[in-house]
Structure 1
């Protein structure tokens, strides 16, 4: 993949939005996701899978805003977040890579956590979040990727390194996370968000060039 500086910057902003969206309930973050106009302007990078995922998010926002006000919808999405990623008694869709590295994993701190801690340390980054999440949380992996993309926009990070990280970490397990979310909540907000993240990750890792004219 050979993106220009502007595209890398847009990718950085996109992954940052998705990462923050998956690190905390919407009641504690930005509310952009409930605004249909936000999704209409969301960059699709001329990629079919990304465009399809954005359409899913747009349809959710349009359908919900037709019957709910913004505050009520934010509350509903925040309850969904808690059910999926927090519990009690435990997350219905574990948001940590460790859980998808092996069968019957019941603890949240594993090899993937150590690997992400090392990558963050080598990049000069520190985890700073109120929820004290493990380093292999999907939100943190996406925020790390956002940093790599931002550095690529300045010519400070190679696209090969970005593709390697993407393939070995978030892309390797986001499909399983999406399936868990689908099994728990087939018509919720986060299915669309994770589907969009997966499409963008696949694009960055493989650059399939399934472009659309837009």
Structure 2
């Protein structure tokens, strides 16, 4: 692991997941305009730990460098047009941000995973403001759920941390990583700009990277357990 404490790693991941979730759940606002600038992505505090992170960052840097040549209002408008086309519609979105669309044969918008996610969110005291109108298995909501699990790692004893991390890994495998590659492909093939395909690719890479770190934590714990047993 990097020369950081586990608590620092978890805090960083919380910030990342919350950031990603917020920009998936809502289009870019005037007060958050820095996200469409080249400088923002050149200074983004994420190491290129894998191919997806490296590729996503490169794509966003290249795209926003072109946006910097025009008026900021126009830049935000262009990015938000892509957001609408990919994630909202009209009609069927070109890159639906809901797990059930990708994990059901009939491409349902309120499939089983939508109700599974609604239950998981409810157990954490969370509720989507679009409940009943949009499925709860939206990528942004799944990332917020992961944020909540990560927050719970602080101030817990080691056994409880291990249990939470096992829940995180299972959630990543069963939900997020089971469909985000397909979502990325749709965003890449149907995006008018390429901003959101780069954004989704970074999220994909972050999940893969975080999974490695969580598995490393479990390996350290299991190694200590073996030493205590000897």
- Shorter-chain TM range is 0.7 to 0.9
Contact kept, 8 Å, 1:166 with 1:204, in 2: the verdict is no
Contact kept, 8 Å, 1:164 with 1:205, in 2: the verdict is no
Query: Aligned equivalents of 2:209 and 2:187: distance in 1?
Result: 22
Query: Aligned equivalents of 1:194 and 1:23: distance in 2?
Result: 13
Query: Aligned equivalents of 1:172 and 1:162: distance in 2?
Result: 14
Aligned to 2:90: 88
Aligned pair partner of 1:175 in 181, 185, 189: 181
Deviation at 1:153, TM superposition (A): 3.8
Aligned to 2:171: 165
Aligned to 1:101: 103
Q: Label 1:163 to 1:28 Cα distance change in 2 as closer, same or farther (>3 A).
A: farther
Q: Residue 136 in 1 paired to residue 137 in 2? A: yes
Q: Moved runs in structure 1, 4+ residues, more than 4 A?
A: 129-132
Query: Aligned equivalents of 2:195 and 2:118: distance in 1?
Result: 29
Moved more, 17-26 or 180-189: 180-189
Q: Residue 62 in 1 paired to residue 68 in 2? A: no
Aligned residue-pair number? 207
Deviations 1:62-94 (A, max 9, x none): 2221x2221111000111111111111221111
Moved more, 42-51 or 94-103: 42-51
Query: Aligned equivalents of 2:186 and 2:48: distance in 1?
Result: 28
Structure that is richer in helix per residue: 2
Query: Aligned equivalents of 1:68 and 1:87: distance in 2?
Result: 26
Deviation at 1:132, TM superposition (A): 4.8
Query: Aligned equivalents of 1:44 and 1:51: distance in 2?
Result: 9
Aligned to 1:39: 41
Structure 2: gaps of 5 or more residues: 217-230
Contact kept, 8 Å, 1:27 with 1:78, in 2: the verdict is no
Normalising by the residue count of structure 2, what TM-score does the alignment of the two structures yield?
0.80
Q: Residue 146 in 1 paired to residue 147 in 2? A: yes
Query: Aligned equivalents of 1:29 and 1:149: distance in 2?
Result: 27
Query: Aligned equivalents of 1:189 and 1:63: distance in 2?
Result: 11
Which one has more relative contact order, counting CA pairs under 8 Å at least 6 apart? 1
Deviations 1:4-32 (A, max 9, x none): 11111111111111111111211477333
Deviations 1:118-167 (A, max 9, x none): 11112222223599532100111111112222222444753222111111
Aligned to 2:226: none
RMSD over aligned Cα atoms: 2.6
Q: Residue 194 in 1 paired to residue 200 in 2? A: yes
Normalising by the residue count of structure 1, what TM-score does the alignment of the two structures yield?
0.85
Aligned to 2:15: 13
